[in-house]
Amino acid sequence: MADGRDLCLQHRKADANLAQIRRGVLEYNLLIGGIAMTYTGGEIVVKQLLNEGVPYIIGIPGHGVMGLFDAIRKEEEAGNIKYLQVIHEQSAAAIADGYFRMTGKPLPVFASTGPGALNFSIGLGTAYVDSTAFLALCGDTHVHMSGTGVLQEIERYQDSNILRSLEPLAKRSWRAESISQLPRIMRRAYNQMTTGRPGPCVVALPMDVQAEAMETTFVPIAKQRPEALPCADKNFIQEAVNLMKTAKRPVILAGGGALSAKAGEEILELAQKWGAGVVTTLAAKGAVSETHPQYCFHTGSKGTPIGLKVCREADVVLAIGTRFADETTCSYRKGVSFNFPDTKLIHIDIDPSEIGKNYGADIGIVADLKDALVQILELDPDFPKKPAYLEEISTLRQDWFSYLKEVREQKTEKLTISQLVGLMNETLPKNTVIATSSGNTQAQLFQEYCYDLPYCNLTTGGFSTMGWAVPAAMGAKLAHPDRPVVAFLGDGDFMMTMQELATMAKYEIPVIVLLANNSGWLAISDLQTGALGLEAVFGNDFTKGDALYSPDFHLIAKSFGIDAYNESTPAGVKKAIQTALSNNNPALIHVDVCREYPNSGGRAFGWWDVPIPAYLSDKRKNYEAQCKEETL
């Protein structure tokens, strides 16, 4: 196999060789000057992508996108864009999603009509719930044949109705009924994705519209996009500061919006000035340096003792870019995660619909998060000092680290996921990006990994998608070729998109897949045990007859042309990680992990509303009593 660094050089050309990209953009800018030129619908779409500076387009060709795909071919041959071929459309979406989370720049993905377009649904749902963005270009039925039932058309309820199934999953969607609509649709799509609260967009491209031609000019990008973000009202900022001055146990709660806004530096500066603890949600993990002495990790059902304690005992919470979802709030049980309305709440978000949705805000501010934080800092408030509170936070941090040390020193037949997380923390460079999907690996990395640098964590926070980590890690690596990237996941997750090892191998994308194999969906098995009892464990082990079943992942990786390591000891795992980093090739490190509860996963310090069947009368009675404490 060629050195994986060759890949970085190849992809950096696609991403950073501005001379090549600008060649297409220069031609395109002639149109902006008012000189009309003739292009097909497919060419209009691709020229607009070039003008947006898009380095990659990802997807699977089919008869429904022939016109678009031929336009892509022409621009790739000219060196203006790189086409990446994946094995499943869901993975194209996840690659684009991972790329956006690292760069803030939406990539386009494309699929043929019918099944190909529907395969985007999981990726669109993931991006929409997590407020990230990519552009889904979907082939569609010819305009003049709409409703006839052509190949792969869904038309019995409404003619050419594929778009309707994707509409709830997108910030905005369009069907181009004529070629003349395409320039405006493409402008609006990029405007929607990159302003306000981000989200994915969908454009359905009828086959005939892709192939038709027209003369066109284009509006300059500078005239399409608002340059100023919404600013916080100065009067409300002053009110917030006045309330903050009353706090004796303040907490800054950072949500996914804070991570997206890259507001970590401002958060820590304000925390130091205010004397506040900093807590992040699952979607915001990695928004700040987690080695900072005022960082309190997490609250919620997957939270940590320190995060839960400081949040429920806070007198003022400054919440930024968070929607207060059920996992963050312990399903809204008063006094578990939070104590609203006894605790005062200042809520800042760019989306007004989030303020007051789940908790009433004493002060609600609709604004760009960074602007609001900067305005507070510029007032240079004289906050009271809180030495006892900060000392308490320091003690709680040490208690948490001591607990992790004790857990990881337990003797088990196989390595635990907690031990793997510890080994990663000891071995990986500080700037490593780690991607996780849903499952015990996600939950324990969330609880236990301590990032020294911000903006290194990728996870499916709100939609909790399985099969996301591997392709998303590839997207992160395309965005930052010089940084190590790891996908950390279980075997159930991995097998949903493991075909993308082919993509990783073909394009020599040097991601490290760290596979914790427990032969099942043990996150659900553990939930059955914890909520319903050991006797309720059912249906999550992978078995063949009476024996556990597992493919030979080591052999599978080798058959794809991926470097493969099979490890079972702490020393072996550390050496494999170091070797994979040094070789800089696509790699898979396979580790069989402990399956015995509770060492199969992490400890749930919070609470989550998992309904108990009525026939489990004692457990149901306790559950109903806890539900009465929910404030919704």
Give yes or no: residues 426 and 328 share one domain: no
* Residue 430: C-alpha distances to residues 175, 442, 512 (Å): 45, 19, 15
204: which strand partners?
138, 175
Give yes or no: residues 417 and 536 share one domain: yes
Q: Largest alpha-carbon pair distance within the chain?
A: 77
| Structural domain total, the chain | 3
- Which pLDDT score is estimated for 226? 75
Give yes or no: residues 241 and 197 share one domain: no
| Cα–Cα dist 398/357, whole Å | 35
Is 526 strand, coil or helix? helix
Residue 621 within any structural domain of the chain: no
CA 603 to chain centre: 23
- Which pLDDT score is estimated for 336? 98
Residue 492: CATH number of its domain: 3.40.50.970
Give yes or no: residues 90 and 206 share one domain: yes
Asked if 303 and 331 touch (Cβ cutoff 8 Å), the reply is no
Give yes or no: residues 182 and 79 share one domain: yes
547: which strand partners?
544
Three-class SS string for 494-505?
A: HHHHHHHHHHHH
Q: What is the dihedral of CA 527, 528, 532, 534, to 10 degrees?
A: -120
Summarize the chain as % helix, strand, coil (round to 5).
Answer: 45, 15, 40
Q: 544: part of which helix (H) or strand (E)?
A: strand 543-544
Give yes or no: residues 356 and 452 share one domain: no
Give yes or no: residues 56 and 191 share one domain: yes
Residue 251 within any structural domain of the chain: yes
* Residue 299: C-alpha distances to residues 268, 310, 348, 514 (Å): 18, 9, 19, 26
Residue 553 within any structural domain of the chain: yes
pLDDT profile of the chain (632 residues), mean per 10:
47 46 44 73 96 96 98 98 98 98 98 96 98 98 90 86 93 97 95 95 97 86 76 97 98 97 97 98 98 98 98 98 97 98 98 97 97 97 97 98 97 97 98 97 98 98 96 98 98 98 98 98 96 96 96 98 98 98 98 97 96 97 97 91
Residue 13 within any structural domain of the chain: no
Give yes or no: residues 70 and 196 share one domain: yes
Give yes or no: residues 244 and 299 share one domain: yes
Residue 287: CATH number of its domain: 3.40.50.1220
Give yes or no: residues 435 and 289 share one domain: no
pTM of the model: 0.94
Asked if 103 and 133 touch (Cβ cutoff 8 Å), the reply is no
Give yes or no: residues 249 and 110 share one domain: no
| Cα–Cα dist 344/315, whole Å | 6
Asked if 314 and 245 touch (Cβ cutoff 8 Å), the reply is no
Residue 426 within any structural domain of the chain: yes
| Cα–Cα dist 620/126, whole Å | 33
Asked if 136 and 162 touch (Cβ cutoff 8 Å), the reply is no
- Which domain does 140 fall in, by range? 21-223
Give yes or no: residues 61 and 170 share one domain: yes
Radius of gyration in angstroms for the set of CA atoms belonging to the chain, rounded to a whole number: 25
Cα-Cα end-to-end distance for the chain: 57
- Which pLDDT score is estimated for 34? 57
Residue 8 within any structural domain of the chain: no
Residue 615 within any structural domain of the chain: no
Residue 547 within any structural domain of the chain: yes
